[in-house]
A and B are shown apart, each in its own frame.
Chain A
Amino acid sequence: DTAVSQTPKYLVTQMGNDKSIKCEQNLGHDTMYWYKQDSKKFLKIMFSYNNKELIINETVPNRFSPKSPDKAHLNLHINSLELGDSAVYFCASSQDGAGSYEQYFGPGTRLTVT
């Protein structure tokens, strides 16, 4: 069984478009995250939700909007895509948001903006 799944795996789109990435976890975890990994492989936290409530919101353009319909799902919607948004986006989950538990990552979504 896949613990953390993301769709789509690849996303190629043009500048100015709006796109969404979906994430689901079947681990029963309370906390979910979105990370961005750039071409230099730095993995940076973008958002964190704990039981559908936003708890971490890093300095991310407001074109990025996370949505958590329930604690097993965390989607990422991106408006007006820019070239600099090209990266791999990872969803993750953990038992809680205190950092004392390991995080389980999804397979990633490679976003390419042309």
Chain B
Amino acid sequence: SQKIEQNSEALNIQEGKTATLTCNYTNYSPAYLQWYRQDPGRGPVFLLLIRENEKEKRKERLKVTFDTTLKQSLFHITASQPADSATYLCALREGGGKLIFGQGTELSVKP
């Protein structure tokens, strides 16, 4: 079955810098890949969805890339702010339509 790997170590960056988070998967390329944000004590919140035939997707300060050759998605937050501090989850669609989630990467943006 599909395995997803996200940086398990927390990512600490300075306000204003670009945060880049990585999501690697092991098997077949999924038709859809999604990114979610989770704050402590809350449910995940959807951010972006990218399809396998899309190289890049943008939404305001967020950008997602999808490289089916490398089996990797990168999630970028430009001009990061302390309010961007959260855990970011990558999710892939598997057979039967279910989503498989990575363990998430905790981002901390320092003022």
Contacts and interface: CB of A to CB of B under 8 A. Distances in A.
Contact of A97 (B41, B97, B104): B97
Contacts, number: 59
Q: Which interface class (under 10, 10 to 19, 20 to 34, 35 or more) fits B?
A: 20 to 34
A98 interface: yes
B104 A105 contact: no
B67 to A, nearest CB: 20
A108 B93 contact: no
A64 interface: no
Contact of B49 (A43, A56, A102, A105): A102
B46 A42 contact: no
Contacts of A105: 43-45
Q: With a 10 A CB-CB cut-off, give which of B30, B45, B100, B101 has the most chain A CB atoms.
A: B101
Contacts of B42: 107-108
Q: Which interface class (under 10, 10 to 19, 20 to 34, 35 or more) fits A?
A: 20 to 34
B43 A92 contact: yes
A102 B46 contact: yes
A103 interface: yes
A59 to B, nearest CB: 11
Contacts of A107: 42-43
Interface string A36-70: 00001111110010000001101000000000000
Given A41-B87, A43-B44, A55-B96, 18 more contacts: A4-B43, A42-B103, A43-B89, A48-B97, A55-B97, A56-B96, A92-B43, A98-B93, A98-B97, A99-B94, A99-B98, A99-B99, A100-B49, A102-B46, A105-B43, A105-B44, A105-B45, A108-B41
The 8 closest A-B pairs by CB, nearest first: A99-B93, A105-B43, A102-B46, A43-B101, A99-B97, A97-B97, A98-B97, A105-B44
